[in-house]
Structure 1
């Protein structure tokens, strides 16, 4: 057995490269990333899907790092949407700050487990500090808590499950619960309800006005009617920046109705939450401090890499009731009197130290450039809207609340819906800029989502040229 152990040890030690090997690996990876970043300003935002290459097997033998990086370049980085590009304005990305990648590197090397305070006090304190900062930004009280999640979907799930526990409803009454939202609410909310066992809950889709905001003129009447029918008003959802249009719902008015009727009030601020770093958005989002839960996505308007979300929650008791469990093998753990364990407030037990990817750039740069970038993106959306509106035949959506704007071309003859379908395809096939589209109440719109920190005026001017160029070709 001893000889077998020694033989296995010799092979297993290959997993720990020596200093020279580590240096060479690091150098090649850094060179690869530097080349990628240096090419971004002139690189396409979208690449047509390449022919799939066989990746369905692993080998017992090693592959050289240069071959692996070559494969990454041709089959991953230059395939599909280039999410790091300033030309990516199709969905709501953030771009991926370079120091965040360094934070992930440091977190992976140290391999700290940030889910519980005892094994990694410094990591737990760091993540809780970030939660406290976000709570302060949203106007939540000092005793509010939260969790760094993988994104808005898990954040919405945590919010729904916590609301379910706070309501103390039994399974036999789940079909009596009523959720109030608009048809512009993110679909992850409906998904969260289903996962939380509330698929039988009744959804009340409130109308939106001409500016795509939730119209709450009938909300109180609907709640009273539901109560009179023996139903249980359960959850009101407001959006601080819808994914479709970037619209801010009337948060303060919705908060007042929720408080009056003791209904859980949730604000999905995944896209727009960090715009509250700007005074004018704080003014437009009064009442958010009255929410019970808030969803945020630092990988959107804080420009961090994908996989960085957050949920903020006032009711720690109900949060614990939904998520806190223990086990015999954890009997050695000593809880902190002042710090919340991330594993106690989330479905995740095993979680990586994702706080480092957020903490490092915020500390390294300070808040000022983040604030400037957010204001710049808002102004760029307004600039694009003003410029495209000057072009004959183009129709624009209402003035954007944040940094998403929409437009469409209405031809003198023919079907506008079909024309804009062809127009968005032509823009995407071009590849220099990536946009996406949406249909709202039967009308086809092309979306311009300006959220990547690398998107500046030169990209918007390029987009304007491309739109006019493709429109002219389609009109021939």
Structure 2
């Protein structure tokens, strides 16, 4: 009997269903003609956005709750036209909050307007390479390694060092803490015996990293700071001596190279000496301050950072990159790899090359290197050096002018580019001054608490922050201080 192909109605039905679903899913498939028009619309929107940002207040609040329209629009079965989505974006996300990168943005650690970085981020998203494993896109991984080598060289790390581009300083600090934990072989039963030392101004992400890493029960000694808001090294030595006498093991010292509160830079060479004597791991959180190593003035302030065991940097701060680009560097790169290199049977076809996934908690990750790499290779390093040196000089200029305002307490001369000051009329006066600036919209500043008192701060980092803008800010500040103190401006020299 001859083989006769039998009809299979169920198979035919399945094929028909597949074809129908392919048609329904077609909008997710690249369409060169449609994509070109959408790209043009998005680029035109971006050009108009930059213009609008220059016209809007540096900071504004959504007093009428317009951002709720995003929630009301929701995620629906049938989508919006692109122009409708861009209009919603324009009227909400782009309308309120801080206009990042504006010269008057001086709160917290300011971001930057970096057009080449934005174009790099766009290209990274369009190409969307898999960057966690070297075999999947060797060029993307080589680009990351090139950037990491350059960053390591900038702080004086040896050729044996290695690192990772992270989402920011918090994950970089976590990676460093985990690497230090593994380097010392600390296991659960030993956690309570290993002591961590930091200053009272250390960033809170260190405590979070210890918690996430299973080290929350490590004794944490917060060492007081000196008059320049740097960790007091003599008090550190005393605390370590007392812990050893109590049978505890000094293990991890956290130094700061530019605290968020004051911009203070710890005496890194002294911390390196203490760490070496005690056999401790020295981690330096240089998320804000590390990039200043690119200029001569900053390198002098950061002397000793090259002796750390690990360092956190944030290119999205001092290298003016798009948000979401941090870095961790480890002097002995093998330590970093040993802490994070794991595998699975589904990765059996991957080569033995070191990949970003081998030095990070992440496997899948965005293409972080390109938004950082593109402006650096196009512009060169020279404007970055100039911008960082400019901010250090501008901070000294601002400090000198602030000291001339009667009724204003001014902190120590800035080591980098953050200044702290307060009206002597009390906490309410300082909060009112901050509100005045932020409500007026030309400047955006933040407060902190130093020595138990509300204190104003200004962080000079955005490339657009000019001497003229800073001088105008100080002139306005002098008026506000006079108003709070009831001083006759005619007799007030500033």
Same fold, TM exceeding 0.5?
yes
Instruction: Give the corresponding residue for 1:285.
Output: 302
Q: Partners in 1 of 2:285 and 2:78 — Cα distance?
A: 48
Q: Is residue 2:197 matched to residue 1:180? A: yes
**Deviation per CA, 1:129-149, whole angstroms, max 9, x where unpaired?**
111111111111101100000
* Structure 1 range deviating more: 367-376 or 51-60: 51-60
SS in 1 for 2:129: coil
Task: Please say if 1:430 is aligned against 2:440.
Answer: yes
Distance 1:352 1:304 in 2: 15
When the two structures are superposed, what TM-score results if normalisation uses the length of structure 2?
0.92
Residue 457 of structure 2 is aligned to residue 447 of structure 1:
yes
Structure 1 residue 17: Cα displacement: 5.3
1:31 has 2:44 as partner? yes
Contact 2:70 2:88 in 1 (8 A): no
Query: Which of 427, 442, 451 lines up with 1:417 in the alignment?
Result: 427
1:75 to 2:76 alignment: no
Residues 471, 35 of structure 1: alpha-carbon distance in 2 compared, 3 angstrom cutoff = farther
Using the TM superposition, give the Cα deviation of residue 245 of structure 1 relative to its aligned residue in structure 2, in angstroms: 0.6
Cα distance change of structure 1 residues 474 and 23 upon mapping to structure 2, 3 Å threshold: farther
- How far 1:465 moved relative to its partner? 3.5
How many residue pairs end up in the alignment? 469
Q: Partner of 1:10 in structure 2?
A: 23
**Is the deviation greater in 24-33 or in 266-275?**
24-33
Seen in structure 2, the aligned counterparts of structure 1 residues 70 and 468 have a Cα distance that, compared at 3 Å, is: farther
Matched, 1:408 2:422: yes
Per the alignment, residue 272 of structure 1 pairs with 289
Is 2:70 the partner of 1:55?
yes
CA RMSD, Structure 1 to Structure 2 (Å): 1.6
Number of the residue aligned with 2:378? 364
Q: CA deviation at 1:326?
A: 0.6
Deviations 1:105-143 (A, max 9, x none): 111111111111111111111101111111111111101
Q: Which residue of 2 aligns with 1:204?
A: 221
Alignment partners' CA distance in 1, 2:212 and 2:152? 26
Q: Distance in 2 between matches of 1:460 and 1:5?
A: 63
Match of 2:7 in 1: none
Structure 2 unaligned blocks of 5 or more: 1-13, 487-494
Q: Structure 1 residue 225: deviation in Å?
A: 2.4
Q: Distance in 2 between matches of 1:32 and 1:470?
A: 38
Deviates more, 1:148-157 or 1:402-411: 402-411
Deviation at 1:92, TM superposition (A): 0.5
C-alpha contact 1:268 1:295 (8 A) present in aligned 2? yes
- Helix, strand or coil: the match of 1:95? coil
**What residue ranges of structure 1 are gaps of 5+ in the alignment?**
none
Question: Which residue in the other structure is 1:223 paired with?
Answer: 240
SS in 2 for 1:386: helix
CA shift in 2, pair 1:382/1:41, >3 Å: farther
Moved more, 395-404 or 376-385: 376-385
1:309 CA displacement: 0.1
SS of 1:446 mapped into structure 2: strand
Give, in whole Å, the separation in 2 of the partners of 1:469 and 1:432: 15
Deviation at 1:42, TM superposition (A): 3.9
Q: 1:155 to 1:397 in 2, by over 3 A?
A: same
Shift of 1:236: 0.4
Q: Does 1:124 align with 2:137?
A: no
Distance 1:466 1:34, change over 3 A: farther
CA shift digits 1:433-456 (9 cap, x unpaired):
100000012122101001112211
Q: Deviations over 1:391-421 (max 9, x none)?
A: 222221110011111121224xxxx222111
How far has the Cα of 1:34 moved from its partner? 1.2
CA 1:66 to 1:107, structure 2 compared with 1: closer, same or farther past 3 Å? Answer: same
Match of 1:378 among 380, 386, 392: 392
Name the TM-score, length of structure 1 as normaliser. 0.95
Distance across 1 between alignment mates of 2:153 and 2:364: 27
- For residues 27 and 189 of structure 1, the distance between their equivalents in structure 2, rounded to whole angstroms, comes to 43
User: Aligned equivalents of 2:266 and 2:202: distance in 1?
Assistant: 10
In the other structure, the counterpart of 2:359 is 345
Q: Deviations over 1:352-394 (max 9, x none)?
A: 1110111111001000001111111112222222223222222
Structure-1 residue corresponding to 2:4: none
Partners of 2:215 and 2:437 in 1: how far apart? 41
> How big is the shift at 1:13?
1.4
Does 1:149 pair with 2:202?
no
1:305 aligns with 2:322: yes
Q: Distance in 2 between matches of 1:347 and 1:445?
A: 37
* Secondary structure of 1:222 counterpart: helix
Give the superposition deviation at 1:21: 2.2
